[in-house]
Structure 1
């Protein structure tokens, strides 16, 4: 007896992502399922939204697609696996750089440096390695510099789901400027 269970495309994609690790490419999945990359991205974004409140999330990083644990579950995961070392806290410089990116994204490294007044080469490298930011394209200007944006992992580190949940930058700036005038 040959039982062939029909399973939906979303479920098939999830199964491949689970087993594929970080090696699954958008182009490969598109070709395998014989659908356009645009349609695949649409399906992946739906899946990402559906999984938002679960322990496993979908991360789309340029051409790579993979499953990650929900950053909001980080404390419980660390607790269960009894990790001896806690995740390192971010330096004030890294937090400042991440704040600039979060409020001004997409933004180039030189634009961040203009705001901070110092080089951010090493900081960008470190927070990119932590997957708190990602390269989200190129700016249409001389040299075509990389554009950066914060990731869901960074938002999870802050305990929020979207940049819209960040405090209102204009109100904070207004309060700070008001205090400095008094």
Structure 2
């Protein structure tokens, strides 16, 4: 059995707190090599019922968001996933179409402060810090996660509606009235 399968087994039993550096020490390989293996596993599992989520220093297994409805039906859960507020949806749209993007750049588009919205979206794992901008203060750059794409029921940003197409459809609809 290879190292990939061994890591996958550890993830299954590890819960929410499998630290990437602990995997590196245990297998006596570099953190970069662990990330490479985890990314390969993540890609391999992308269209399955179980996904691998990598969150900066930790990695864990999660159900594929596209299976949420059937999982809820099976377990007869009455609790539905929280809907996103308009502010959250607007912020996510801006990030999705312009990523990577800083908080101040998002605020410039929206015209309001988004501190709490960004915090909530990070807590729900819909966005993550993907780097730092080479500018004064080195602000965080944000991008959307696979979990958010799953929430929308798509697998990549390329599947998002294109602004120009939407604009044409709307203009065509308005002209027909």
Asked whether the two chains share a fold, i.e. TM above 0.5, the reply is: yes
Task: Extract unaligned runs of 5+ from structure 1.
Answer: 1-6
Please give the alpha-carbon distance, in whole angstroms, between the structure 2 residues aligned to 1:142 and 1:178.
44
Task: Extract unaligned runs of 5+ from structure 2.
Answer: none
Aligned partner of 2:79 among 60, 85, 96? 85
Q: Which residue of 1 aligns with 2:31?
A: 37
Specify whether residues 179 and 146 from structure 1 end up closer, same or farther in structure 2 by C-alpha distance, changes over 3 A only.
farther
The answer as to 2:159 corresponding to 1:165 is yes
Q: Which residue of 2 aligns with 1:100?
A: 94
Tell me how many residue pairs correspond in the alignment: 175
Tell me if the contact between 1:62 and 1:136 (Cα under 8 Å) persists in the aligned partners: no
The answer as to 2:73 corresponding to 1:76 is no
RMSD between aligned residues: 2.0
TM-score (norm. length: structure 2): 0.90
The answer as to 2:93 corresponding to 1:121 is no
Residue by residue over 1:112-151, the C-alpha shift from the partner in whole angstroms, topping out at 9 and shown as x without a partner, is: 0001111111111111111111122222211111111111
SS in 2 for 1:110: helix
Q: Which residue of 2 aligns with 1:146?
A: 140
Residue by residue over 1:18-69, the C-alpha shift from the partner in whole angstroms, topping out at 9 and shown as x without a partner, is: 1112211222111211112222212111111110111100011111111111
TM-score (norm. length: structure 1): 0.88
